[in-house]
Amino acid sequence: MNYLFRTVTHPAGWGGFADYEIRDGKLYRAATHPDGGSGLPDYEIRNDEKVYRTVNHHKGCSGFPDYEFRQAGKLYRTLSHPDGWGGLPDYEIR
């Protein structure tokens, strides 16, 4: 199983613990997520290698991607991210 860790450039700061875990193309909050774990996925990875909020995301569903993979294992905010675009990665897969 792969986990997503905040990078040093994450707006909430780097964390030594995983925020998300990837299961079957969906992102679930890990037990170490700052808002607590969840049994339902917050995000899903679609074929375009972009990450979209699911219907059970705490900020609601969106037709636009929040994140995209731009280089191997790094997740960047997209232009349609609610907190704005970032030129540096927010997450990395480990």
Give per-residue pLDDT as tens, 18-45. 999 999 999 999 999 989 998 999 999 9
| Confidence at residue 77, expressed as pLDDT on a 0 to 100 scale | 95
In-domain check, residue 20? yes
Number of domains in the chain: 1
Rg of the Cα atoms in the chain: 12
C-alpha span between 41 and 88 (Å, rounded): 24
What average pLDDT does this structure show over 43-68? 93
What average pLDDT does this structure show over 49-68? 93
In-domain check, residue 45? no
In-domain check, residue 11? yes
| Confidence at residue 72, expressed as pLDDT on a 0 to 100 scale | 85
Q: What is the mean pLDDT of the chain?
A: 93
Q: Give the domain extent around 12.
A: 1-31
What average pLDDT does this structure show over 37-63? 93
